[in-house]
Structures are given as structure tokens and as C-alpha cells.
Amino acid sequence: MMFFPIYDEKTYTFENQLEGTLSTDIDFVDNDLSDKHWTTLIRYDKNNSNNYLQLRDLNSSLKVSIKNFWNKNHRNAIVEFDVGKSDEINGLNIYFYEGGENRIIWMQLYQKRIVTRESRSEWKIIKSGFLESNRFYHVKIVFNDQKNEFTCYIDGNNEGIFKFNVNSKKGVNYLQFETIESNDSEYSVYIDNIRYRWIPTNQIIITSIIFLFEVIFIITITLNLIVSRNNKKAKQKEITPKNENAKGKQK
């Protein structure tokens, strides 16, 4: 008998994709077709025997997007991914959307820092003085929809708690990566191991009910044990005087 919270979970490693595969055939990637000045494709890293996704921006004024539409809104999500850039100047937007327009979280990897927008005008630094080119960093985001904030971990270190860009009413329903407009003719960002989880509302109810039954079960068993012990003691007390009487008669 165990009590575990249950998560739905999906992970995208791009390992089932062939090197060089273009965007339209890539599982999970949904391109914004209004922008022709980019490619998204699968790359293979021989040293680590690993496939990853490359978002390649080829134009100075346009943007690259990939989208992952979750089939419905989810609260209290936990999202992780590995991300890197081809240089130390250009950048990447990371958005978590609620419905069509609300950007609950708007993070940026730009130059040598990661920032997040806590209101319409206020950017807050999550971590600065890092982001070397051509290496992956692990980002983990734990949502707290009740408080409209999230905890951010970079390479396993807790970088603190940050406010949502806008308050959440329903929870997130998709994640979007987008290259930031650049003056360079070409640059890339790299993405891998996108993993997301959440506690579905019906699971919270079901696990709570199971947990309640478990508590009731344990209490019932404990009470039964106490009652049966007391009954035994009472019976022993009843028997003892009779035996003594019997012994007395024998004499």
C-alpha cells in the first residue's frame, strides 16, 4: 500500500529522428510558417552520440519559432530542457503560454545572462556572467500557479523564485522557443531533452481519496488490535479467579 502523487509526463530527446531531418518531419516541432528565413533541423553530436534540435536564424530581422501545443491547460507544471547558443551575443526567447495570448512566463537567454519578465516593464536577472557558446545548460522550471510564481534551476542549482509575467488563470498549454532578432546574418540555438510533467486535477482528487482510505484503513486496523488486546486481558482476568477456585476445591 503506497501513496504517490501521479504525473503525466512527456519527454522529447529527438533520438528517434534522423540527422538533417527538416522541421516539418520533426516530432513535437510546430513551425510558424509565416517566417521563411530560418530552418529547424536535427543535428547529431558524434562525441556524445546524441541528437538535438537546431533553430537556425538566417535573417537579421525575422524570428524562428517552434511550438508544442499541449492538448489542454495544466497547472503546477514542471518543465525541463537543455538549451545552448552558437555565440555569446545573440539570444533566445522562451515563452509559456496560457490560451492563445497570455505569456505566463517570458524568459530570455541573451548575451551572457538569463532574465525573466516579471511585469510589463521589469526584467529580472535569473543568472548572469555565464552562457558560454556551443554548450548545453539544463533549465528546470517549477510552476506555482497559486502564487503566480516559479522556481528556476540552472544546471541543478536553485536560482530563486520569480514572478509570472502575467497571472495564471488556467495554467500553461504550450511552450515556445523563439530566436531573438539579430544583426548577425546567421546564428543558432540548440534544444534537447524537453520534459514536462504536471499533477492533473483528477489525479489530485483520486490520490487524495486513496490516501484518505489508507488512513481510515490504518486507523481501523490499529483500533481492532487495541480492542482485541483489551478483550484478551479481560478474558484472562475472568479466567484467573475460576482457576484459583478450582485449585481450592482440589485441596
Nearer to Ca ion, 13 or 207 (CB): 13
CB 40 within 8 A of CB 177: no
Place of cell 481519496: 209
Q: Which residue is nearest to Ca ion (CB)?
A: 13
Task: For residue 51, give the H/E element and its range.
Answer: strand 50-57
Spell out the residues 6+ positions from residue 186 whose beta carbon is closer than 8 angstroms to its own.
Answer: 56, 57, 58
Minimum distance of Ca ion from residue 85's CB (angstroms): 17
Which one of 40, 51, 179, 188 is in contact with Ca ion (CB under 5 A)? Answer: 51
Residue 52 or 95 with smaller CB distance to Ca ion: 52
Coil, strand, or helix at residue 117?
strand
Q: How far is the CB of 110 from Ca ion (least distance, A)?
A: 24
Q: By C-beta, is 51 or 165 nearer to Ca ion?
A: 51
Site map 3..42 versus Ca ion, x via CB under 5 A: ----------xx----------------------------
**CB of residue 12 to Ca ion, shortest distance in Å:** 8
Residue 151 interacts with Ca ion (CB under 5 A): yes or no: no
Cell numbers given for 205:
482528487
**What is the three-class DSSP state of 201?**
helix
50 near Ca ion (CB under 5 A): yes
User: What are the φ/ψ torsions at residue 109 (nearest 5 degrees)?
Assistant: -100, 110
Q: 126 — phi, psi (to 5°)?
A: -85, -45
CA distance 201 to 195: 19
Q: Is 192 in the site for Ca ion (CB under 5 A)?
A: yes
**For Ca ion, what does the binding mask look like between residues 103 and 142, x meaning CB under 5 A?**
----------------------------------------
CA dihedral 111, 115, 116, 118 (to 10 degrees): -120
Report in angstroms how near the CB of residue 227 gets to Ca ion at its nearest: 59
173 binds Ca ion (CB under 5 A): no
Q: By the criterion CB under 5 A, which residues form the site for Ca ion?
A: 13-14, 50-51, 192
